[in-house]
Chains A and B, each alone.
Chain A
Amino acid sequence: MTAELDPRPEALPQRVWDSVQRDQLPPVDDRDRMRLVMNNLVLHIHPSKVSKPTLRFTYTWGLGGLSLLLIAILAGTGVLLMFAYTPSPDQAYSDMLALQSTVWYGQLLRNLHHWSGNLLVVVTFLHLLRVFFTGGFRTPREFNWVLGVAMLLLVVAANFTGYLLPWDQLAYWAVTVGSSLMSYVPLVGEPLRNFLLGGPEVSGATLTNFYGLHVAIIPLTLLGIASFHIWRVRKDTLSIPHNVDGSLPEPNTKVTTVPHLVSREFVFALVMTGLILMWSVWVNAPLEEAANPDHSPNPAKAAWYFMGLQELLLHFHPTFGAIVIPVLALVALALIPYQRFDLSAEGIWFRSRRGRQMAVVAVIAGLVLTPALVLLDEYWLDLPELLPSLPTIIANGWVPLAALLLGLLGFYEIMRRAFRATACETRQSLFILLVVGFVVLTVIGVAFRGEGMALMWPWEVLS
């Protein structure tokens, strides 16, 4: 009886390493490269081969990957910050001061967390725009678009709950204003707001609630949906970029994910990490004086991503500004992929040559009309005064909403006829008009609203 021995027994460290990384490194042929992706826990979020044209940076702009990178930075810095922070009204603000003065790298980690969080709102929004303008939501990817919209809301919720944690004046009043928007929802709004805040006002109970949401509930939900989202992308693959004449920019061949995709992702992640790090070294996250529930600052502004909404509130009855219009917009946004779509437009930036011309017109229209309407309502038009017999909810709600919807319908018809455009192209121009309108409202709210929320120039707002 002879025991069969390994002919060349390897040293223990080598055997341990081989048990961890079971495939040979570096891979020598495409078969090895594909196996590497399939057998690796992290890499297998990718398929083993990808379509070569989809690797073009100017098609995806790396925005989905960048969102993931930011989430990783947020998780890492966030967990560290948890060790230096107590969510209580007595302690929170002094912990923030300690972070900035005595905790090693406290300021840097807070800056990284703050800026990455804000950047994530921008990047997920840009990701949504990219997918919209290249028709990347088409069958079978409709539901992944809906998941994306859900994640955009979660990202905003994560930012909003995190906004309160420093417990300074900015935090306290932004959350007071933001959560008061909710109480305008008929019937359930007020109980829901009280439940979320743990009482009628922002208090210690609110801080406890928001902390739990911010560090556990929202991140875990986001992680779950993001996994589902990425899994679907892997199953459905990316849409293939096309030139505006419908031709392929290059032959649609498949290349191995390692190294073609992974190396690009790695370089992009490194560059972005470097930029975020540099920004966070130089620019400190804001911190005002400690929260004072007795004194609202003037002006009290919501977080910047809610300023579009707050601007709407200055022009509409609160039920409309805070609820009806945002809900309509969100439902419309989520249902976009279920609209009919020209299959020939998939993968072409802005649908077609005509779609591009219409896009330019829509951008200009949005840039001109939105400030014009804001100025009109601010200085000349007073609907409740013009219609004194009607309650304000009609005079300042239904009436301007109906006018707005009629205006959008008119825009749609004019664009469709003037350009002899398809429904798909016309819908895109309507989407652009609304997005530009929303961005302009946000900019007006952030930069052009000063004391008493009066309109003024940005340099007057700052002074």
Chain B
Amino acid sequence: MSADVSRRGFLKLAWGAAGAVALAEAGGVAYMFLSPRTVEGEFGGIFTAGAVDSFPPGSVTPFTAGRFYLVREDDGGFVALYRKCTHLGCAVPWEPAEGRFVCPCHASAFERDGSVVNAPAPRPLDRFTVTIADGTVLVDTGRPIQRDHATDADLVYA
């Protein structure tokens, strides 16, 4: 045992460390107890959007329960856009007359592919993963995907 750790100093440290561990455990318990729980079958689950052919190219279809828009670009590619504005979280409506998403809160505007045409939104609309199986479009709303730019790589084809 090294001479520069006194018995008193050692005990002080041991008690202090034990106390810190106990506090951290209590904090961890509280944090995990309070953490959000996800519910199956609601927003956060996988949505069956419908048959590929029911979405004409160049269309924007809102899914209210899933909180997303299923966009089919002119070339037939699909992208699912989270309707939550990337600025401050408002629900962004699709304005067919303007051909854009226009946020009512702070006038952010987005193209059909989600890219920003009018600030203050800092990034394009988030997207959800789209999969196509047996001619049916499925959208996984579990995790919004953030992106700096909307690209053609985001599009999914039948």
Q: Do A and B come from one complex?
A: yes
B37 touches A180 (CB 8 A): no
Given the known interface contacts A177-B90, A180-B87, A296-B91, the answer about A194 and B36 at a Cβ–Cβ threshold of 8 Å is yes
16 inter-chain pairs at a CB distance below 8 angstroms, sorted by A residue, are A173-B90, A177-B105, A180-B88, A198-B36, A201-B67, A293-B91, A296-B91, A296-B105, A300-B104, A313-B120, A318-B120, A318-B122, A392-B119, A452-B104, A452-B106, A453-B106
Given the known interface contacts A177-B105, A452-B104, the answer about A318 and B87 at a Cβ–Cβ threshold of 8 Å is yes
Chain A residues closer than 8 Å to B122, beta-carbon distance: 317-318, 392
Decide if A158 is an interface residue (CB 8 Å cutoff).
Answer: no
Decide if A400 is an interface residue (CB 8 Å cutoff).
Answer: no
Chain B residues closer than 8 Å to A195, beta-carbon distance: 31, 34-36
Flag A175-206 by CB within 8 Å of B: 1 or 0 each.
01101110100000000001101111100010
Residue from A173, A197, A201 in contact with B84 in the complex, judged by beta carbons closer than 8 Å: A201
> How near does chain A come to B26, taking the closest CB pair, in angstroms?
15
Decide if B89 is an interface residue (CB 8 Å cutoff).
Answer: yes
Flag A303-326 by CB within 8 Å of B: 1 or 0 each.
000000000011001100000000
- Bound Cα distance A197, B35 (Å): 10
Chain B interfacial residues counted at CB < 8 A: 27
Chain A residues engaging chain B, CB cutoff 8 angstroms: 173, 176-177, 179-181, 183, 194-195, 197-201, 205, 209, 293-300, 313-314, 317-318, 384, 392, 396, 452-454
> How near does chain B come to A446, taking the closest CB pair, in angstroms?
15
Residue from A205, A396, A454 in contact with B37 in the complex, judged by beta carbons closer than 8 Å: A205
> How near does chain A come to B84, taking the closest CB pair, in angstroms?
7
A294 touches B64 (CB 8 A): yes
B contact face: mostly helix, strand, loop, or mixed: loop
Chain B residues closer than 8 Å to A293, beta-carbon distance: 67, 91
A176 touches B89 (CB 8 A): yes
- Bound Cα distance A194, B31 (Å): 12
Within 8 A of A (CB), among B32-52: 34-38, 43-44
- Bound Cα distance A198, B43 (Å): 13
Identify the closest chain A residue to B141 (Cβ). A200
Chain B residues closer than 8 Å to A295, beta-carbon distance: 91, 93
Chain B residues engaging chain A, CB cutoff 8 angstroms: 31, 34-38, 43-44, 64, 67, 84, 87-93, 103-107, 119-120, 122, 144
Identify the closest chain A residue to B144 (Cβ). A200
> Which among B35, B36, B92 has the greatest number of chain A C-beta atoms within 10 A?
B36
B36 touches A201 (CB 8 A): no
Chain A residues closer than 8 Å to B64, beta-carbon distance: 294
A314 touches B35 (CB 8 A): no
Identify the closest chain A residue to B65 (Cβ). A294
> How near does chain A come to B123, taking the closest CB pair, in angstroms?
10
Residue from A183, A209, A294, A452 in contact with B91 in the complex, judged by beta carbons closer than 8 Å: A294
- Bound Cα distance A452, B92 (Å): 12
A296 touches B104 (CB 8 A): yes
A296 touches B36 (CB 8 A): no
A300 touches B87 (CB 8 A): no
- Bound Cα distance A295, B91 (Å): 6
15 additional A-B residue pairs with CB within 8 Å, beyond A200-B84, A296-B103, A317-B122: A176-B89, A177-B88, A177-B89, A177-B105, A181-B88, A195-B34, A201-B67, A201-B89, A293-B67, A293-B91, A294-B64, A296-B93, A300-B90, A300-B105, A452-B106
